[in-house]
Homo-oligomer: A and B are copies of this chain.
């Protein structure tokens, strides 16, 4: 079958659910970041695993690329189609299939978004804590091994996907994991697929670990004289075994932007924002103990509250950071870079990044999930200035190189996509070739999200 015949064959069973409209192709060829549009040849909207299987099988026969699509919020051009092909949009596979409160797990279709899942869970007293800010799909989150503010307490998608169902490049459907909490039965195929960015299989079901909605929550914020003081407070907090549910750093530039955006009166200094989950007593104790640690590092008072309104205001602000930063320079675009280093090197990594950004003249506030050593710079590009894009890319490049110099990783949570391919060889050495060997063994014709993640033939 030729590629056009394949699309016709797909249309014959998907009907209207195979779209070739220009607007649909454009939408699925765009990226949240600075990559030029790379549209697929068609967008499929399957309803079932069997349909996904038929799509993959037909595409494999004609060597047509197949690219998964959740909500398209990934930041490194992950879901773009540099070689065309069929984009498989999972938005119709959006059912919560089974909630099992006694086992603290749930099985969902990949198109369920995290907000939808938490809405459907609410009555059970359970929650799914992984929170990448964007209202991403759970399939996309698993595929990018996403995390966010709560990873320091609840882990990333690596820790919260218990098992999955996937369609592989040869059209086979596999189930990985079991419903048991742990297993020593063979290779960890769940972990292999999580973070594989759609290059090894299309996930059609996920079984996720749930957590009880905590009985009590306290949250608060405090200012530090320097990033170093703030990071040292983080290190002490983690080392003392104080269980934080979130511990976020915003730098002085971000505090200033918050003030402008929301009329708040934060001192223009680095801040830590924290949250504790537990019993009413434990969250009060935890907040008090953190207050002592912060004071040891010269911080002002740690203002905390167990009131829902106060907490919500705090995290709404943190979640809106991206938009607040964009609003601070109307008409600018953002290049967001994400790196992660050992916590002991975090102050150094942030300090050097801040100095580098200051010297460049670009606005570039920094925020981070610092309990994990993970932070982002939001580099603002003025489209009217021809140099800005290049300056931002060079800054981002030096951030990644610095992370690798410090024993860290090119990406803590956003993933590789198109944007970070060039760091894979340095980060993994011969391990990158091993990834390529696995890819070739499981997808010999390079059907699944080609051009991404693994070494490419010259």
**Residues of A at under 8 Å CB distance from B?**
100-105, 144-147, 151, 155-156, 158-159, 168, 172-176, 178-189, 191-192, 194-196, 200, 211-212, 214-215, 235, 238-241, 277-279, 281-282, 285, 289, 340-344, 372-374, 403, 407-416, 420, 423-424, 427-432, 434-435, 437-438, 440-442, 453-454
Contact = CB atoms under 8 A, between A and B. Distances in A.
A343 B183 contact: no
A182 B413 contact: yes
Contacts of A420: 185
Contacts of A174: 428-431, 434
A434 B195 contact: no
Given A180-B340, A191-B191, A185 B438 contact: no
A194 B186 contact: no
B342 A183 contact: no
A226 to B, nearest CB: 17
Contact of A239 (B102, B413, B434, B454): B102
Contact of A187 (B100, B212, B438): B438
B374 A182 contact: yes
A173 B442 CA distance: 23
Contacts of A215: 241
A240 B213 CA distance: 9
A271 B178 CA distance: 27
Copies of this protein, total: 2
Contacts of A179: 341-342, 407-408
A154 to B, nearest CB: 11
Contacts of A454: 186
Contacts of A105: 342
A413 B180 CA distance: 11
A18 to B, nearest CB: 27
Contacts of A173: 430
Nearest to A423: B185
Contacts of A416: 184-186
B438 A438 contact: yes
A340 B187 contact: no
Given A145-B182, A182-B372, 17 more contacts: A102-B342, A103-B343, A174-B428, A174-B429, A175-B428, A180-B341, A181-B372, A186-B432, A187-B195, A187-B435, A187-B453, A188-B192, A189-B434, A189-B435, A211-B241, A241-B277, A438-B442
A100 B341 CA distance: 14
A278 B418 CA distance: 44
A125 to B, nearest CB: 8
B211 A147 contact: no
19 contacts: A100-B344, A103-B342, A104-B238, A105-B342, A145-B183, A145-B188, A158-B182, A159-B159, A173-B430, A178-B407, A180-B407, A181-B412, A183-B340, A183-B409, A185-B416, A187-B195, A187-B196, A188-B188, A438-B442
A35 to B, nearest CB: 17
Contacts of A180: 340-342, 372-374, 403, 407-409, 412
A159 B455 CA distance: 28
A26 B200 CA distance: 43
Nearest to A414: B184
A454 to B, nearest CB: 8
Contacts of A195: 184, 186-188
A170 B103 CA distance: 42
Contacts of A151: 182
A372 B323 CA distance: 41
